Structure 1
Amino acid sequence: MGNCIICGQDVDGRICQSHEEDVVFDFRGDSPDQLVRNRFYRGVVDGYADFGVFIDLSPNVTGLLHRSEIDGRLESLDWEAGDTVYVQVKSVRENGNVDLTSSIRQSEGEFRGTLIQERTEEKLPEEVEEGNGSERSDEGNGRERGTAESDGGGGAVETGVTTEAETETEEEPEPEPVETVSEPETAAPTAEPESEAESEPEPEAEAGAEPAAETETAAEPEPREATHSEIADLPDRVDELVRIEGEVVSARQTGGPTVFELRDETGVADCAAFVEAGVRAYPEIEIGDIVRLDGEVELRHDEIQVETEALVELEGDEAAEVERRLADAMTDRARPDELTLVAHDERLEAISGNLLDAAESIRRAVLESRPIVVRHGATADGYVAGVALERAILPLVREEHATSDAEYHYVNRRPLEDAVYGMNDATNDVTKMLQDRERHDEKLPLVVLAGTASTVESEDGLEMLGIYGADRIIVDAAPADPEIAAVTDVLVNPESDDALSTGALASSLATTLNSGVGDEIAHLPAVSYWEDTPQSYLDAARDAGFDEEHVTELREAVALEAYYQSYSEKRELIGDLLFGESEEAVAAAGAPEDVAAEESLAGHIATQFREKLDTEVETAQANTEESEAAGVSVAVLDTDSYTHKYDFPPTSLLLDELHRRSDAEVTIGIAMDKLWIRAETDLDLRAVALDAAENAPNAGISAAGLRECRIEFLSGAREEVEIAVIGAVTEQFD
């Protein structure tokens, strides 16, 4: 029993339940399970990701402060790696992930007390002996330099440094540290210099004298030599001293060690190097350097990490040989052997070379540890395309990188509200990638644009990415403008203008770059079509267990969720919808246990889709003005007056459905400064805009969105624009 340090109440520990949130804890445990929910803890900023901030609560326990838990935008935080911050533990998941929430108190003085939590035991700061865990240890190494750590089996792990107690009791000198590289001046020191007393030779033993007993027990350990290893073999080399040769693909500074990501011809590994907490180790080593690294392989929370003992940059013939091996392995591993389609489609077979080139570029980015940003439209077709690519890339990243959070660093899916990749989108992406390069030493990303950026309106945005050296791949089923080929690295675009969805195109690219996901995403192409779905894709979905009714539910559910929080990737929710991954999805929908999660959740959301769409269409139909122009029937809807501007469905989707249910040959939706066209003939939107501009020269008419068939104009010329556009559209019916 003890007393609460705030109120003095008798408690089992040092703080009563009512005052637990008035105290900040310095956590010195080694497992997330030891954390206490709702407690405030002191932490150290490890680094940023798209979705939040990683906070080290102890050398072996890291939590995530998700961006949704931060007041304001993530970019508004002025925290840097190594900064001390104060956070509250929100929950600890079964897999060990720690969810944090923010604290308005960001100094120790704002709390009413401070306690040390050693594993599960609570102590006052003065009760913790100086030097006994009172300072944060090297995060990557999991121990403090100059000390020994328990090896889990009752022994101790030697760190290569003589402790004070050993200096007083041992007469034998320390063994010479093993030199593992030929350039010792660049290696990080792992032992204290020998004293003069230690360096003097020992007196010779008298003839016939028996060796002292302590000499037998204090025998020098066998020196270890680092043996060459490939990164793929590291799981079998735990506790061994290895030598790795490869390329440094990233270097991030944590509150403890510097963590280098090293790539060889077989994979990527994290290598922690420590000089002083928060201080950059081996500052002469830069991203892209070819190096040799010696270190001990350790397993921490089921993740492989190499504790660096020496790191040097290779030069001349040695560097050239390693580069040659990496290049040969890259070529062998990056290029797919053959085209792999979800279902037979002659249109895709005709562009097999482009599909293989795109698959190679994506796989090469994974192997080079470059982030991949997938951009897609916020529509059902766009989400299917983006998710198909995401599902194919994630396993490749997990296979290549040993750390469990690699998929969050190296794969980002960012929906676009428009089918045009404009300067606003490019500015956001460039700002983010430059911040990541500055904060985390990340490489510039590969940007994959699915169902967007294929028209000349996206040229400026694509050029901006190219100026900064970000590679660009466009995957779009709609015909691309000739100018786009010059501002992209790989263009995957069918030669035929037959109806093909971007979801079907991207799904076959996904199975080509990773054939292992073929069965998992076989139903996605069928989900991407609103009508006239090719039979081959319906058959593929049916073979995967999705009949047409189920496919329709998935399409409608994704379309509804694509509208809400349109800038968010919604990875988990979309995964639940399309793949039924979460058991919670069943309970959330109130379905019995024997009903599949994807059926219950998708059906629940699809019902909302139909109710909202039907209500909006009925209102629109009642307020549509119908007329005839040049023998063509035209229906016009004032979308500002007769639609819900900030609720589902979006105008483009509403006009699609309104036109499907209408007998009119042309359906037009007009707002303050925008106009949408749906017609029974193939329209040349740019020609419509040019013709209309001749009749309304001062209206600022332009074809702003070819995929949405959208025209923009000056709001003051609305009536004039409506007449001019109807005239231009009906001319194309001749």
Structure 2
Amino acid sequence: MTTDDTGGSAGDATVYDLTADCTIEDIEEGKAYLATVNGVVDYGLFVDLSDNVSGLVHESNLSGTYAVGDELVVELGQVRENGDVAFETVDVDEYDTTPVEHEYEIADAGDLDERVGETVTLEGEVVQVKQTGGPTIFHVRDETGIVSCAAFEEAGVRAHPEVDVDDVVRIGGGVERREDAIQVEVDSLEELEGDDATSVRERLSAAMEERAEPHDVDPLTDWPEFEKLRDDLREVARLLRETVLESRPIRVRHHADGDGMCASVPVQYALEQFIEDTHEDPEAPRHLLKRLPSKAPFYEMEDATRDLNFALEDRARHGQKLPLLLMLDNGSTAEDVPAYENLAHYDIPIAVVDHHHPDPDAVGDLLDAHVNPYLHDEDYRITTGMMCVELARMIYPDIEDELRHVPAVAGLSDRSKADAMSDYVDLAREEGYDEETLRDISEALDYEAHWLRYDDGRHLINDVLNVDCDDEERHRELVDFLADRARQDVEEQLDAAMSHVEHEALDNGAHLYRIDVENYAHRFTYPAPGKTTGEIHDRKVEETGDPVITIGYGPDFAVLRSDGVRLDIPTMVSELDEGIVGGGVSGGGHLVVGSIKFVQGRREEVLDSLVEKMAAADIDEELSSTVQRD
């Protein structure tokens, strides 16, 4: 018990005045307390000493008459087994009052599963307010975790409307278990202000900084070029852990191909584990994390509008904060800017991990974090999947054993010729994956990504990649089936398409192969135009052994692949857009792989100009293709 004497003349008695939040634990026998009459009955008076301390003064201890609201001085008489409290009057003429503040024992949200059935006091920040058909649910964050607190006014009516997200509160209530989730049934809820609020915020800030710190993990391979990116990856890991700790949702967008899934699945898995450690609600990962594929090689306005609409609806319906957007294997170019600017109206933070050729001047000010090998004078051979396995380990290192084969799958999916590929393949071999199996997994991922279209295929993709998968035999059988089915479909497509491939020898010595994939390949089936172009390209590279460029085109698009020719596709796209008035040329990619769009009426002019630029490109016999699987 804490007292604060107010002084007074010598000889005056001391009477203690309980603050509203005091409990019976704050009362000591033999001390006098100020009480207020709240009821008069035949056998005595009911009095309040605080909001939580009430009792009876029996008529045998009274002299004189009292009315509701009168004050008197009492001392503790007896606390009965049933919890009833009896007080006795104290006869004092003059006295000084000394306030008594409740001495709180603050519980930790992260330890409440051990205190079910107890009454506890919590202090923390409100991170979500959700109104149900019954109680109002306040999600409260302290230094150790986040817990749901249910306050009931009446069915469907907002309890404590003065309290909102980001407020600091003190909550008292009983700890209960509701459908495997820990929940506090609120008896009292007070918004803290002034020094009390500042003290709690300082504690939370210090704990946040410590808990958000990424784990120090040793690199999976000795790769000096990759180490240039490690600090940037730590920044993203710290940002994502902070986002989880403040209970902000995360929306993951990734390219719908093998490398994109090798990037997103490990990060999703790591974040889910960290969310489970942070939240007492076992459903929190489902509510706070969403992974969605993007078919386009940039963040389309359609996707951004849908993401924003869902986020605003979740804020209105469930009291959630607006999410952080995490772009993986996508999101580095000027084509992403309109979508990012749309999100900027709502201050939605954005982080990007990508290995496509970036336009930092266009996207830089719109991003909170950006990891890309080009920003460190490296290139696409460091795939996004390789980066994101390291990112996932920084977030939650305990899942490493399930991820050690994933960088090799990512590299094979994107045909990376990085020096470290042999090390990654060896690492996977130690886990029981030979190179043929890794290629089959890559093929199966591409095949499933095609048919899933805009669905994340969470459990199916995890089974194919063998991450967070509980059936090893099913994984092997599934990969064998899908990879075999994918190869059959590719063969059927090429049987139809190869006779329509046109050849031309360019002035720089490269072979150019062209095919109208709109008219001379099966549509709306696997493989899609980009994949079809890539498969044709691979066969021509193997057939000729010379520098090869392949163009697969349709009415308003072209997919580009090259081996042994330094195309610099992003620069070519910019030059085409400037040089062909009304062409509407846009697109991008790596130096040797990419795609462009244009208006249909200017197709011939765009393709002719494109071939002219290809014919003038430098030959580089050591430059190898990193064919994207679109």
C-alpha contact 1:669 1:677 (8 A) present in aligned 2: yes
The answer as to 2:425 corresponding to 1:538 is yes
What is the CA-CA distance between 1:720 and the residue it aligns to?
A: 3.0
User: Do structure 1's residue 381 and structure 2's residue 259 form an aligned pair?
Assistant: yes
Q: For residues 255 and 712 of structure 1, do their structure 2 counterparts lie closer, same or farther at Cα, with a shift above 3 Å needed?
A: same
Q: Which runs of structure 2 are paired with 1:121-140 in the superposition (5 Å)?
A: none
**AA of the residue aligned to 2:274:** L
Taking structure 1 as reference, are residues 693 and 389 closer, same or farther at Cα in structure 2, changes over 3 Å only?
Answer: closer
State how far apart, in whole Å, the 2-side matches of 1:635 and 1:327 are. Answer: 59
| 2:574 paired with 1:703 | no
Give CA deviations for 1:177-233 in whole Å, capped at 9, x if unaligned. x987269xxxxxxxxx8685686454549xxxxxxxxx9998435899974211122
- Counterpart CA distance in 1 for 2:358 and 2:422 is 26
Quote the residue 1:517 is aligned against: 399
Q: Distance in 2 between matches of 1:270 and 1:194?
A: 36
Matched, 1:667 2:550: yes
- What is the SS of the residue equivalent to 2:402? coil
Equivalent of residue 555 in structure 1, options 429, 439, 442: 442
User: Could you tell me how far 1:443 is from its partner in structure 2?
Assistant: 0.8
2:275 aligned with 1:397: yes
Which range moved further: 509-518 or 527-536? 527-536
- CA shift in 2, pair 1:693/1:488, >3 Å: closer
1:490 to 2:342 alignment: no
Partners of 1:528 and 1:575 in 2: CA distance? 14
Task: Kindly indicate whether the alpha-carbon contact (under 8 Å) linking 1:380 and 1:528 is maintained by their aligned counterparts in 2.
Answer: yes
| C-alpha contact (below 8 Å) 1:580/1:598 kept by paired residues | no
**Structure 2 equivalent of residue 725 of structure 1:** 610
Partner of 2:163: 285
Q: Choose 245-254 or 222-231, whichever is displaced more.
A: 222-231
CA distance in 2, matches of 1:470, 1:580: 30
Alignment of 1:134-153 (within 5 A): none
1:424 shift after superposition? 2.2
Structure-2 separation of matches of 1:655 and 1:510: 33
Residues 218-617 of structure 1: matches in 2 within 5 Å? Answer: 219-220=82-83, 227-483=105-361, 484-494=363-373, 495=376, 496-497=378-379, 499-530=381-412, 531=415, 532=417, 534-579=421-466, 596-617=473-494
Larger CA Rg, structure 1 vs 2: 2
Describe the superposition over 1:19-66 as per-residue Cα deviations: whole angstroms up to 9, x where unpaired: xxxxxxxxxxxxxxxxxxxxxxxxxxxxxxxxxxxxxxxxxxxxxxxx
Distance 1:274 1:471 in 2: 34
Percent of aligned positions that are identical: 33
1:688 maps to what in 2?
Answer: 572
Distance in 2, matches of 1:329 and 1:179, equals 30
Give the counterpart letter for 2:83 in structure 1.
E
User: Conserved in 2, the CA contact under 8 Å of 1:294 and 1:308?
Assistant: yes
Post-superposition offset of 1:301 = 2.6
Shift of 1:343: 2.9
SS of corresponding position for 2:261 = helix
Question: Does structure 1 retain, via aligned residues, the 8 Å contact 2:353–2:371?
Answer: yes
Question: 1:340, CA displacement in angstroms?
Answer: 4.1
Alpha-carbon offset, residue 248 of structure 1: 0.3
* Deviation, structure 1 residue 656: 1.4
Query: Comparing 291-300 with 463-472, which one deviates more in the overlay?
Result: 463-472
Structure 2 distance, partners of 1:361, 1:311, is 31
The alpha carbon displacement at 1:730 in A equals 1.0
- C-alpha contact (below 8 Å) 2:402/2:467 kept by paired residues: no
Distance 1:637 1:540 in 2: 39
Classify 1:479/1:676 alpha carbon distance in 2 versus 1 (closer, same or farther; 3 Å). Answer: closer
Segment drifting more, 563-572 vs 334-343: 334-343
Separation of aligned partners in 2, 1:514 and 1:470: 24
Q: 1:353 to 1:339 in 2, by over 3 A?
A: farther
* 8 Å CA contact retained: 1:227, 1:241: no
* Residues 621 and 179 of structure 1: CA distance in aligned 2, closer, same or farther (over 3 Å): farther
1:627 aligns with 2:510: no
Which whole-Å CA distance do the structure 2 matches of 1:363 and 1:599 have between them? 33
Q: 1:691 to 1:216 in 2, by over 3 A?
A: closer
- Tell me, what secondary structure is at the counterpart of 1:642? coil
Structure 2 vs 1, CA of residues 564 and 685 (structure 1 numbering), >3 Å: closer, same or farther? same
State whether residues 180 and 310 of structure 1, in contact with CA within 8 Å, keep that contact through their aligned partners in structure 2.
Answer: no
Q: Deviations over 1:127-146 (max 9, x none)?
A: xxxxxxxxxxxxxxxxxxxx
Measured in 1, the distance between the counterparts of 2:617 and 2:526 equals 32
What root-mean-square deviation, in Å, do the aligned CA atoms of Structure 1 and Structure 2 show?
Answer: 2.6
8 A contact 1:580–1:597 mirrored in 2: no
SS of residue paired to 2:411: coil
Q: Which residue is 1:181 aligned to?
A: 21
AA aligned to 2:434 is D
Task: Classify the secondary structure of the residue corresponding to 2:519.
Answer: helix
On the 8 A contact 1:449/1:472 being kept in 2, the answer is yes
Structure 1 residue 581, shift from structure 2 partner: 5.7
Give 1:429 deviation, angstroms.
Answer: 1.7
Q: What SS is found at the alignment partner of 1:640?
A: coil
Task: Please give the alpha-carbon distance, in whole angstroms, between the structure 1 residues aligned to 2:43 and 2:230.
Answer: 71
Which string of whole-angstrom CA distances, capped at 9 and with x for unpartnered residues, describes residues 135-171 of structure 1? xxxxxxxxxxxxxxxxxxxxxxxxxxxxxxxxxxxxx
Contact kept? 2:262, 2:406, Cα under 8 Å: yes
Q: Is the 8 A contact 1:692 1:721 kept in 2?
A: yes
Unpaired segments ≥5 residues, structure 2:
1-17, 24-37, 46-56, 62-77, 87-101, 620-630
Q: Would the alpha carbon gap of residues 230 and 636 (structure 1) be closer, same or farther in structure 2, given more than 3 Å must change?
A: same
1:723 Cα shift?
2.1
CA distance in 2, matches of 1:374, 1:340: 26
Question: In the aligned structure 1, how far is the partner of 2:151 from the partner of 2:198?
Answer: 25
* Conserved 8 A contact 2:110-2:280: no
The corresponding residue for 2:625 is none
- Whole-Å Cα distance in 2 between the matches of residues 704 and 320 of structure 1? 50
User: Structure 1 residue 372: deviation in Å?
Assistant: 0.9
C-alpha separation in 2, matches of 1:276 and 1:456 = 52
Q: Matched residue of 1:518: which SS?
A: helix
Amino acid of the structure 1 residue aligned with 2:573: A
8 A contact 2:263–2:328 mirrored in 1? yes
Between the aligned partners of 1:462 and 1:264, the Cα distance in structure 2 is: 32
Q: Which moved more, 1:505-514 or 1:682-691?
A: 682-691
1:653 Cα deviation (Å)? 1.6
TM-score, normalised via structure 2 length: 0.79
The 3 A distance-change label for structure 1 pair 195 and 560 is farther
Unaligned runs of 5+ in 1: 1-177, 184-192, 206-214, 586-594
Deviation at 1:732, TM superposition (A): 1.2
The alignment partner of 1:676 has SS state of: strand
Correspondences of 1:34-73 after superposition (within 5 Å):
none
Check 1:429–1:197 CA distance in 2 against 1; reply closer, same or farther (3 A cut).
farther
More displaced 10-residue stretch of structure 1: 718-727 or 537-546: 718-727
Per-residue deviation, 1:341: 3.0
* Structure number with higher relative contact order (C-alpha < 8 Å, ≥ 6 residues apart): 2
Q: Is the 8 A contact 2:43 2:59 kept in 1?
A: no
Shift in Å at residue 455 of structure 1?
A: 1.1
Deviation at 1:716, TM superposition (A): 2.1
